[in-house]
Structure 1
Amino acid sequence: MNTTKERSHGTHRTNAAIVGVLFILGTVPALLSMPLAQNTVSAPDHLTAIAANEGQMLLFTAIKFLMGIACAGIGLALYPILRKYNEGLAIGSAGFRVIEGGLQIVGCLLYVVLLALSQEFVKAGAPASSYFQTANAVLNAGIGWFRDAANLLTFGIGALLYYVVFYQSRLIPRWLSVWGLVGITLSMLSALLVMFHLLPPFGTIQVILNMPILPQELVLAGWLIAKGFNPSVIASRSAKTAANELLSAA
């Protein structure tokens, strides 16, 4: 019996550490890529800047791709843990975070197209007024919608679902769950305001509304890696499951 409990606890500790690492991979690269973005996609004359910094643009795109995989991985890694406490919310959480990862990858493809457009723009002599500017405006509108509305909203829904399960089950401390619920609600609000053109994409207000969730996810990652999920909650659940199995067998 003790061996079984120890094995179960070890499995949950491993799962928690994996989830923590995925949270870091889904968050920290965004901070590291900011200087790359300033030199490329966020530069004032960004078509010329992107063409002149092809290596940085490709690295920026690769980082975004990695983040997409990590975000999808968070939902998949959490599912076997959360389904024991609320299967419906666990499925929803995994589904939305996988969708988020897919949208991130689509966004990466748009960055690759933007790189190709910038190179053709420079080859054409950087004309002041041409179809390049029209294509650039369309691409940037698509990138902004994916990044600041669709991605953020699907992330928010997926995260909201697992924070509800965390709060109900006490798998992590309540203060950390509440912080997550408040932070993710503000992030979803910012995404909706951008989606309905009430805020500009990646504007000051949207950045402010997303500030609470960023440190929360890093704290959550550190907690999961260092301490894992609440062992008493896991033990209680395992005991309840074992008792139900005995009753069913009887």
Structure 2
Amino acid sequence: MAADTHITPPVGVPIPRPRMHPTRRISLAVGILYVLTFVSIPTLALYKPIKDDAGAFVLGAGSTAALQWGALSEVIVALAGISTAVVLYPVTKRINQTAALGLVAARLLETCLIFVSVVSLLTIVTLRNDVAGTAGTDSASLVTMSHSLVATYNWTFLLSQSLMPVACDLLLGYMLYRSALVPRILPIVALVGAPLLLASDIAVFFGAYSQVSPIAVLAALPVAVFELSLGIWLIIKGFKPTALTTAYADTSQSAAT
């Protein structure tokens, strides 16, 4: 009869939980952050009143909560975006340090541009609440200024949330494809979708069609699919075991000791 090797800890002593693998912690955090970058999708509806007629919005009455909630969601997107690159950096720098730094820089620039775009819309809220309707206010000037601020938002959005993902996904797609940390189909989608989005951004830039046209939406779809699929995969599965993940875990454990 085999001896029972199971040791029961003394009563009152907590059973230690197994520690999560270092790269699993990173992949889980990055996955959650990538999913968070999609929280601003409702802004398409939340910003509709101000985009349809900025003049009527700034001179109108009623709540501005919808616009403010939309602005808050974009701030979350900006912070989640830069966080993905920073949290990934300990792993990506082992693949290609130049590309890893490029990803952080591109995400940082994207975040700064998103903040500029949000400020432009929140400025309209201030004009509506604190300036419109006061004595001596020139309504025509307010309308002109509001249209200018909406135009600033639209152009900044093109550069931040449409153009910068091209650079981010090309760099990340290259590193993921080279390292095989995730199924190869994911970085392939990024490497195909990023140039497609770039071509669409150039077309929008020169006025071929608008940012919300069906063509623009279709051009952005592969990049969106890549980022959402990557986030979900990293939450559920994490990185595939490779020599890279093993080396990072060994280094982390050595540093901890």
Question: In the alignment, which residue of structure 1 is the partner of 2:10?
Answer: none
Which of 29, 38, 50 aligns to 1:41? It is: 50
Q: Which runs of 5+ in 2 are unaligned?
A: 1-17, 252-257
Aligned to 2:21: 10
| Segment of structure 1 superposing worse, 64-73 or 45-54 | 45-54
Aligned ranges 1:1-250 → 2 under 5 Å: 10-27=21-38, 29-38=39-48, 40-42=49-51, 44-49=52-57, 51-119=61-129, 122-123=132-133, 130-235=140-245, 237=247
The CA distance in 1 between the partners of 2:201 and 2:223, in whole Å, is 13
Task: From the superposition, tell whether residues 240 and 225 of structure 1 become closer, same or farther in structure 2 (CA, over 3 Å).
Answer: closer
Task: Provide the identity percentage.
Answer: 25
Distance 1:166 1:129 in 2: 53
- The one-character-per-residue Cα deviations of 1:85-141 (angstroms, maximum 9, x if unpaired) are 11110000111011101111111111111222344675269x997222321222122
Q: Secondary structure of the residue that 2:94 maps to in structure 1?
A: coil
Contact 2:182/2:240 (CA < 8 Å) preserved in 1?
yes
Corresponding residue for residue 4 of structure 2: none
Moved more, 145-154 or 73-82: 145-154
TM-score by length of 2: 0.79
Alignment partners' CA distance in 1, 2:223 and 2:108: 19
In structure 2, do the counterparts of structure 1 residues 192 and 149 end up closer, same or farther at CA, with 3 Å as the change threshold?
A: farther
Which runs of 5 or more structure 1 residues have no equivalent in the other structure? 1-5, 242-250
Q: 1:49 and 1:83 mapped to 2: Cα distance?
A: 47
Distance 1:45 1:121 in 2: 18
One-letter amino acid of the counterpart of residue 127, structure 2: L
Q: Retained in 2: the 8 A contact 1:22–1:71?
A: yes
Distance 1:205 1:239 in 2: 44
TM-score by length of 1: 0.81
Quote the Cα distance in structure 1 between the aligned partners of 2:231 and 2:166. Answer: 17
Write the distance in 2 (CA, Å) between the matches of 1:53 and 1:104. 23
Q: Is the 8 A contact 1:73 1:98 kept in 2?
A: no
Deviation string, structure 1 residues 162-214 (Cα, Å, up to 9, x no partner):
11110111111111111122222222222222233333233332122112222
**Structure with max Cα Rg:** 2
Displacement of 1:41 in angstroms is 2.8
For residues 53 and 194 of structure 1, what CA distance do their matches in structure 2 show? 32
